[in-house]
Chains A and B, each alone.
Chain A
Amino acid sequence: MKKSIKKILLLVVLLLVVAVSLAASPYGEREIRVDGSIAAAVEQASPGDILIIPEGVYRESGITLKTNRITLRGEPGAVIDGEGNGHILIIKADSVHIEGLTVRNTGLSHVRDYSAIRLEGAAHFRVNNNRLENNMFGIYVSRSAQGEVTGNRIAGGGARESNSGNGVHIFDSQKVKVSENHISLHRDGIYLEFATSVEITQNVAIDNMRYGLHYMFSRDSVYSGNEFRRNNAGVAVMYSRDVVMNDNIFADNLGPASYGILMKEISGSEVAGNRFENNTIALYSEGSSRVRIENNSFKQNGWAVKIWANSTDNVFSGNAFIDNTFDVATNSRQHYNTFAGNYWSNYDGYDLAGDGIGDVPHRPVRLYSIIVERNPVSLILHRSLFIDVLDLAERVMPALTPETLVDEKPLMKSPLP
């Protein structure tokens, strides 16, 4: 009896040893402390190595990773300083992880896109919890797939827009997750060009010089739960399709050409549950079609919605329009979009039926907004009695405002908390 227990124990121990050695050898997580040059350590690394970078300032640039399955892990205080010499970390291999590093000072160029961390043809990458400071481009993802960019703090130099690049730049790539990053003082916070299936969640883009987020020629993407604040021109979604934009905050994007969202030539998309506050133009739509705009709150914007007549088949429902100077503005009497069941704080109808829906249809386009569209200087008449009388007369007998742009079922109470 004792013998058999011993045998079993021996077997278990043997198995354990085999298992541990299997796990360790070919896929061994060899931890190597970098001593001196990171470039040299990267050169000598073999697949599976974890390079630990101790505290200190490493004055290096053009560090190129070509070996698969390498982790670069910075200990607190580990800084790579490019000293203005161009790209700093270039990743041309798969399954590379970069974490805990501070990377700074790429320098500027008018022909090259100098980047702190650049991924070229990389798959399964992870760039997590780094600090990127004073770089032209922060994280540049080019022709790569299936990666994640999470928890980084990215701040550009912010000096001159014409020479600064984007915080996170994704070009011709697929299946990238960008989440929980804080991005400021770059040209665009997050920029996508020819990207597919990108998920952008829980990021904060603030004080960027052009757009907080910028989509160009991209499709099948989601951005939700992000905050876009005080960017010079807001968020632009252009020439893209099937974009889901949910539960974001667009605030304080102020200026002559500033938007919460600028939508240009977008189709089949969704804008839902967002908060638009204190923007010059909260939502601008030109040449966009089949976009559902639902359950958003538009509060205290200059223009809540500016929708050009070449936008068609868009549906606005369940939104709350509260205290905007103009709720809806357009450039034509022709109109091919639907407004139904929204709440308008300046609705002056009544609900005798008591079903929560106003008995009188609401016309959200003020005559004054059309006058302002044609002659911007007339903004000076804002809040004058003259304009109130004009608006009232137009509401009673519409002559210039779009006849079909009517909410037949205006809500008596805001549907949103």
Chain B
Amino acid sequence: MKRVNQALLAVAMLFLAACEPGPKEIMIGQDECAYCRMTISDKPFASQLVSTTGKAWFFDSVECLAAYELDERVETDRIHSRWVPDFEAPDTWVNARAAHYLHSEELRSPMGLNLSAYGNNEQAEQNRQSYGGEIKAWRGVLELVNEAWLDGRRNVPATAE
């Protein structure tokens, strides 16, 4: 009986794990940016925001994702997670809050704020040495977008780390 229970629990946990909302596949060249309406065409910048119910909003750049959140186009408590592509391995999704960002004029992003994301700090640092610029955390990204696009009108949430 105990074994059966354990097995049931394992199955239940599998189901729960399967239900956890996560990043979805973005159709490059087809999907539209939810913030700026541009067709998403540059995989190394294509980002997304996932709600607690598993709905995903796609963006053509890290800056559009940040602006969408700052603009509160989705209620904050509906946000499950934000995902950005690793610039050097664009098939890998990195949680936006854990990612390292390089703000460099040499790596031009689709919306002109020139932010690229990395899963680990070494890669970000390596690209900073190659292309110049400044490394930022997610909070720094939100602050940059708030200043550059929204005249600093929005509040960068204190929890954004």
Query: Is the CB–CB distance between A111 and B112 below 8 Å?
Result: no
Query: Is the CB–CB distance between B37 and A162 below 8 Å?
Result: no
**Nearest Cβ in chain A — how far from B10, in angstroms?**
38
- Chain A contacts of B131 at CB under 8 A? 111
Residue from B36, B41, B112 in contact with A162 in the complex, judged by beta carbons closer than 8 Å: B41
Decide yes or no: A257 and B107 within 8 Å by CB, A216-B112, A232-B39 being known contacts: no
**Nearest Cβ in chain B — how far from A376, in angstroms?**
14
Residue from A193, A209, A256, A264 in contact with B36 in the complex, judged by beta carbons closer than 8 Å: A264
Cα of A220 to Cα of B60 in the assembled complex, Å: 26
Residue from A217, A238, A255 in contact with B38 in the complex, judged by beta carbons closer than 8 Å: A238
Closest chain B residue, CB of each to CB of A187: B41
Q: Mark A106-129, 1 if CB is under 8 A from B, else 0.
A: 000011010000000000000000
Cβ of B9 under 8 Å from chain A: no
**Nearest Cβ in chain B — how far from A16, in angstroms?**
55
Decide yes or no: A210 and B44 within 8 Å by CB, A216-B112, A232-B29, A257-B32 being known contacts: no
Rank and list the top 6 A-B pairs by shortest CB-CB distance, nearest first. A257-B32, A161-B29, A162-B43, A233-B39, A161-B41, A210-B41
Closest chain A residue, CB of each to CB of B46: A162
Query: Please, how many residues of chain B have a CB less than 8 angstroms from a CB on the other chain?
Result: 19
Chain A, interface SS category:
loop
The B27-48 residues at the A interface (CB cut-off 8 A) are 28-32, 36-39, 41-44
Cα of A415 to Cα of B32 in the assembled complex, Å: 35
Cα of A293 to Cα of B51 in the assembled complex, Å: 38
Cβ of A88 under 8 Å from chain B: no
- Chain B contacts of A111 at CB under 8 A? 106-107, 131
Query: Is the CB–CB distance between A162 and B29 below 8 Å?
Result: yes
Q: Which residues of A contact B (CB under 8 A)?
A: 110-111, 113, 161-162, 187, 193-194, 209-211, 216-217, 232-233, 236, 238, 255-257, 262, 264, 284, 286
**Nearest Cβ in chain B — how far from A119, in angstroms?**
17
Cα of A232 to Cα of B29 in the assembled complex, Å: 8
Query: Is the CB–CB distance between B112 and A256 below 8 Å?
Result: no
16 pairs, CB–CB < 8 Å, chain A vs chain B? A111-B107, A161-B41, A162-B42, A194-B112, A210-B29, A210-B39, A210-B41, A232-B39, A233-B39, A236-B37, A238-B37, A255-B30, A257-B32, A257-B39, A262-B37, A286-B37
Query: Is the CB–CB distance between A110 and B44 below 8 Å?
Result: yes
Q: Mark B101-142, 1 if CB is under 8 A from A, else 0.
A: 000001110011000000000000000000100000000000
**Nearest Cβ in chain B — how far from A265, in angstroms?**
9
- Chain A contacts of B44 at CB under 8 A? 110, 162
Cα of A190 to Cα of B152 in the assembled complex, Å: 32
**Nearest Cβ in chain A — how far from B115, in angstroms?**
14
**Nearest Cβ in chain A — how far from B82, in angstroms?**
21
Cα of A113 to Cα of B106 in the assembled complex, Å: 10
